[in-house]
Amino acid sequence: MNCFFVSCEIAENPELEGKPVVVAPSASRRKSIILTANYEARKFGVHSAMRLQDALRLCPNLYVVDSNMETYVRYSNDFFNYFYSITPLVEPGSIDEAFLDVTNLCIGDNVFENVMNLANKIQQYLLVNLHLPCSIGIGPNKFLAKMASDMKKPLGITILRKREVPKLMWPLPVEDMPGVGKKTLPLLHMIKIKTIGDLANFKDLKMLKDMVGETNAQALMAHARGEGDTEINTHRYTDVSSVSNSQTFDNDEYSPRIIKDTLKVLMNSVAYRIDKKEYLAGNVTLQIKYSNFSSLTRSRNLERPTADEKELYRAVEEIYDDYVNEEIGIRLIGVAVGKLVKNKITQSQMTIFDELTPNQKTETVDKLINSINENFGSDTIVIGVKKTKTEHKDIMQHKRPPEVFKR
**Whole-angstrom distance, CA of residue 406 vs CA of residue 386:** 6
Q: How many CB atoms lie within 10 A of CB 185?
A: 17
250: exposed, middle or buried (C-beta count within 10 Å: 0-12, 13-18, 19+)?
Answer: exposed
Q: Which amino acid is at 354?
A: D
Choice among 97, 164, 317, 363 that is catalytic = 97
Cis geometry, peptide bond prior to residue 154 (ω within 30 degrees of 0): yes
Phi, psi of 334 (to 5 degrees): -140, 155
**Whole-angstrom distance, CA of residue 78 vs CA of residue 138:** 22
Alpha carbon separation from 54 to 19, 21, 32, 45, 58 (Å, rounded)? 18, 14, 10, 10, 7
Question: Which of these, 120, 102, 98, lies nearest to 111 by C-alpha position?
Answer: 102
CB-based contacts of 377, cutoff 8 Å, min separation 6? none
164 is catalytic: no
Question: DSSP assignment of 228-269, as one string?
Answer: ------TTTTT--S-EEEEEEEEEEE--HHHHHHHHHHHHHH
How are beta strands 63-65 and 36-37 bridged, if at all?
unpaired
Alpha carbon separation from 284 to 44, 213, 265, 315 (Å, rounded)? 39, 15, 15, 7
Catalytic residue numbers read 97
